[in-house]
Structure 1
């Protein structure tokens, strides 16, 4: 069935944000509702629909994590075991960190290494993971949560070694076929059918087609999944179910329990096993987002209400606030749950002076400035990252404010990152050393 409110809302919201195409699916009250808006791309007038393939990016991590849990159920993997038990040649630059890194640290983003982009050449998972031996280790494993793609590449390599199959084949036998996801595939596979294109908004308001289907095998476990919106909702319903004989219910629910807490984080209040956890109106939710060049998505579950919503928009950077508004509308419309943003404190010059600077990883840099009694946050993609991922938009400076009664936590107030929360962290001497932005940790440049 289709709730007529849903297509009306997403069409109006897409027009507001300049999103050329979108698909949204909702499961509520035992019923599924779908809505589609717009064409395949600005150059292809075919309408988006139930058979359209979208690139769901990092939502793939929930698939990779669940496939690993099938091996946990079979007694072939121990979540508390060191990674080296399954990958004896695995190395980080710090020997103690290598020895203490566990499977759970991979799943909850507490591995502690710095961001990682591979050099050109062989794109296999084995080569990618071998390259991690040169990464600086910034925190001992288990101490600090910061979003990393590389941990899921390690899991992908484990799946290959333990099943004796390439990652995509292992995923198909462990998860995709048992759950009945008939359209799901990966970037490295030949895609046939109707594929939505991504877009980037230009300064003059025009949209450039940006999606490049890069067949990089190392990226499949962290962000390579392609499917219809229907298969994404089927995936969400699987994680609301008793496991359907595919995975024991106790392991499904274990994935949704906090393994580490986070403060002021974009993704929520805690991290489970492949999922991000957040309370909305005191009700626990479980979710994950996906960002690829020109396509942005979000999947959210409310297990105690048997509810799920999946949203994807085909333009950046406004696909981020678009999905946020869609998910918030669905929570309020179907469940009466309202997510409210906290109010920041007035501008404080002394505190602002502590924060101003440039914060970097291998993939991007956050630029913090203060102007006219406002704190501003800009974001730039590094040249190194552009060489790997292709076209990607920088974000113009957006206003943000610090939150009351929350040490160094902030909320973005304007622009495409509006509503995003994060936190600055300090070193042992009390100096600001990093910013958490969209879950990632960007370290301050001297």
Structure 2
């Protein structure tokens, strides 16, 4: 008598994770898989090499730019409340930007990296809000808005900052006291509380040093979330309606899947990036490759925007100096996977690992 598919999938995940850790010298990983409401986790390795503490269900990982999907969720929720429109200009929500080129950028331009060529990172000299404001006021676009997608932390970071201003409270407060509870996430943070610091994994840099993310301008908005595999998987399940939320936050999540631009092989939504399903591995590798992150990509505006669909693959990678994360899901399969690691290993490895898991989950 053959083994059941869930058991075979679990064995595949365990073996594939072990192999990925060996290939990439990853100290520890937490992986979550959901298929039609059934979920399981793989916890392997250590949260810190110096202590030898094992990765488990309580281990917190930095998720880097997967945080952008949470920023998009907050802004989408603000839109549900009537606090903002994606077609508002930046100056509507921050009058100090008036008179500068970025004042006329729409929130949608900032959210989709199409405001005109904001850089991947702020200059090192930008360390506080006053310097950030001065930078944005002096910035000059390299492209007409809506013509080039240039992946940028300052771009989506400003989007999150403006969304918080539209709601009248600081971004961190809105995320930790309002959005995370609405999403039913009890172990997700921007600032890890003192009583959870023992669960906060250490990242491992290429030279072997143990590291954690450093403070920076708009860091919370662009790459600041720390979470567990179970909470991140719950977030993915909520995206698909597998574990539905209350009406407003559920609509807000669904709206973040709407496509606004085609850029290269993928469609840029709010925080998320989408592909028609089934998505060939080669297409996912290209869409998550270095060119998409480091080089301008011609952007084709979708008119009207493409509504969220079930038969797509939705994904986002994220990295900090010592951590690597990936989340991907296919609503039509009600299947998703989250990968958390305390080393920044290649995106291609993450995509291959998740693609193999999702292929088996769809059988």
- TM-score, scaled to structure 2: 0.81
Measured in 2, the distance between the counterparts of 1:61 and 1:197 equals 21
Q: Which stretch of the first structure deviates more once superposed, 187-196 or 157-166?
A: 187-196
- How has the CA–CA distance of structure 1 residues 11 and 135 changed in structure 2, closer, same or farther, with 3 Å as cutoff? same
Measured in 1, the distance between the counterparts of 2:253 and 2:322 equals 31
Measured in 1, the distance between the counterparts of 2:148 and 2:217 equals 28
Cα deviation 1:138-164 (Å, max 9, x = unaligned): 112111111111122212322442333
Measured in 2, the distance between the counterparts of 1:161 and 1:263 equals 33
Measured in 2, the distance between the counterparts of 1:25 and 1:227 equals 12
- How far the C-alpha of 1:324 sits from its partner, in A, is 1.8
More strand by share: 1
How many residues align? The count is 322
Measured in 2, the distance between the counterparts of 1:19 and 1:84 equals 44
Is the Cα–Cα contact under 8 Å of residues 182 and 249 in structure 2 kept in the other structure?
A: no
Instruction: State the partner residue of 1:168.
Output: 172
Instruction: State the partner residue of 1:236.
Output: 236
> Gaps (5+ residues) in structure 2?
1-5, 280-310
- How far the C-alpha of 1:82 sits from its partner, in A, is 1.5
Matched, 1:89 2:117: no
- How has the CA–CA distance of structure 1 residues 23 and 319 changed in structure 2, closer, same or farther, with 3 Å as cutoff? farther
- How far the C-alpha of 1:248 sits from its partner, in A, is 5.7
Q: Which stretch of the first structure deviates more once superposed, 4-13 or 16-25?
A: 4-13
- How far the C-alpha of 1:48 sits from its partner, in A, is 0.4
Superposition pairs for residues 101-112 of structure 1, below 5 Å?
101-112=105-116
> Gaps (5+ residues) in structure 1?
203-207, 337-446
- How has the CA–CA distance of structure 1 residues 188 and 91 changed in structure 2, closer, same or farther, with 3 Å as cutoff? farther
Instruction: State the partner residue of 1:79.
Output: 86
Instruction: State the partner residue of 2:336.
Output: 308
- TM-score, scaled to structure 1: 0.67
Matched, 1:195 2:192: no
- How far the C-alpha of 1:250 sits from its partner, in A, is 4.6
SS of equivalent residue, structure 2 residue 262: strand
Matched, 1:281 2:281: no
Is the Cα–Cα contact under 8 Å of residues 114 and 147 in structure 2 kept in the other structure?
A: yes
- How far the C-alpha of 1:220 sits from its partner, in A, is 0.7
Q: Which stretch of the first structure deviates more once superposed, 284-293 or 191-200?
A: 191-200
Matched, 1:259 2:260: yes
Instruction: State the partner residue of 2:268.
Output: 271
Measured in 1, the distance between the counterparts of 2:251 and 2:164 equals 25
Measured in 2, the distance between the counterparts of 1:248 and 1:44 equals 39
- How far the C-alpha of 1:182 sits from its partner, in A, is 0.9
Is the Cα–Cα contact under 8 Å of residues 26 and 233 in structure 1 kept in the other structure?
A: yes
Instruction: State the partner residue of 2:226.
Output: 226
Is the Cα–Cα contact under 8 Å of residues 113 and 135 in structure 1 kept in the other structure?
A: no
Higher Cα Rg, which structure:
1
Measured in 2, the distance between the counterparts of 1:70 and 1:246 equals 11
Instruction: State the partner residue of 1:69.
Output: 76
Superposition pairs for residues 79-158 of structure 1, below 5 Å?
79-90=86-97, 95=101, 98-99=103-104, 101-115=105-119, 116-120=121-125, 123-124=128-129, 127-158=131-162
Q: Which stretch of the first structure deviates more once superposed, 290-299 or 145-154?
A: 145-154
SS of equivalent residue, structure 1 residue 80: coil
